[in-house]
Structure 1
Amino acid sequence: MSTHTPVSLHRSTNRSDPHEIVRQLNEALGSTLVAALAGARNRKQPYDWARPDGPEPRDGAWNRLQFAHQIWVSLEAEEGRDVARRWFIGGNPLLGEATPVAAIREDRHAEVRRAAQAFVDGDVDE
């Protein structure tokens, strides 16, 4: 089990620079998926958010990005980068076969958190 607790992940993400969080998500998931989960209208918007001198995401998008980052850090630590990325984009039975990216965009954070934990715990068939 990871040394990252939900509380420690929440604290570290909240203290992080928004531009750095988006940069990390862009690197991990790609700007198209980051735009999709944030609810951005433009798939290039995450590139702007990631620039140190760029604009910051609006509140709704920022909440989704923070949450996605918390889940990403947890899954990557437990399962590795490739598995974590596949988890974000694969249909998930605990989310009604929606992808975690779509569920995050729909602000279904509690469901996504439970699905991620079930995945890490091995409580879900793939």
Structure 2
Amino acid sequence: MAVADHARPDLVAHAHATRASFEDVATELRELLGAKLVAYLGRVGETRAVHQWAEGERMPSDEVQLRLRFALRVALPIAAADSPAIAQAWFQGLNPQLDDRSPARLLRDGDLDEVGPAIVAAERAFLIGG
């Protein structure tokens, strides 16, 4: 039996992003962050690919799927606490917790094992007002 820990919204978001079909991940990210930012995170040059992912017509590489699941994990608590527009701005903005680099760029270009913990720490700091 699964137990939701509402004191830690990132745990709920992690479980959701992990269990959801990739089509649902792409759809939710598109709604939260916009197709253009999702395309950037997914390393594709056009938003058409994002729409095809959401419709199940096309699948990105396993690595891209992991990155986008991670992005959903981070975006959900921010959007729930504030709004999708704030989540989008947070991903694109220069973040002092990340040495004034944007989470989107780190997530797109970095090794997920290396940048992931820093992005999660920056998300948590943002959520608690840090």
Same fold per TM (> 0.5)? yes
1:115 corresponds to which residue?
A: 122
1:31 corresponds to which residue?
A: 35
Q: Give the TM-score, by structure 1 length.
A: 0.85
- CA separation of 1:43/1:98 partners in 2, compared to 1, >3 Å: closer, same or farther? farther
2:66 aligned with 1:63, yes or no?
A: yes
In structure 2, which of residues 17, 20, 43 is the aligned counterpart of residue 16 of structure 1? 20
Can you list the C-alpha shifts for 1:1-30, whole angstroms capped at 9, x where unaligned?
x92533332222121111111011112222
CA distance in 2, matches of 1:91, 1:43: 23
1:99 corresponds to which residue?
A: 102
CA distance in 1, matches of 2:60, 2:83: 27
- Conserved in 2, the CA contact under 8 Å of 1:79 and 1:120? no
2:50 aligned with 1:46, yes or no?
A: yes
Q: Residue type of the partner of 1:14? A: T
In structure 1, which of residues 76, 79, 83 is the aligned counterpart of residue 82 of structure 2? 79
CA distance in 2, matches of 1:72, 1:90: 14
- Conserved in 1, the CA contact under 8 Å of 2:92 and 2:103? yes
Give runs of ≥4 in structure 1 deviating > 4 Å.
none
Aligned-residue identity in percent: 26
CA distance in 1, matches of 2:74, 2:99: 19
**Please, which runs of 5 or more residues in structure 1 have no aligned partner?**
none
**Please, which runs of 5 or more residues in structure 2 have no aligned partner?**
none
CA distance in 2, matches of 1:40, 1:82: 22
Give the match's secondary structure for 2:60: coil
In the alignment of these two chains, the number of paired residues is 121
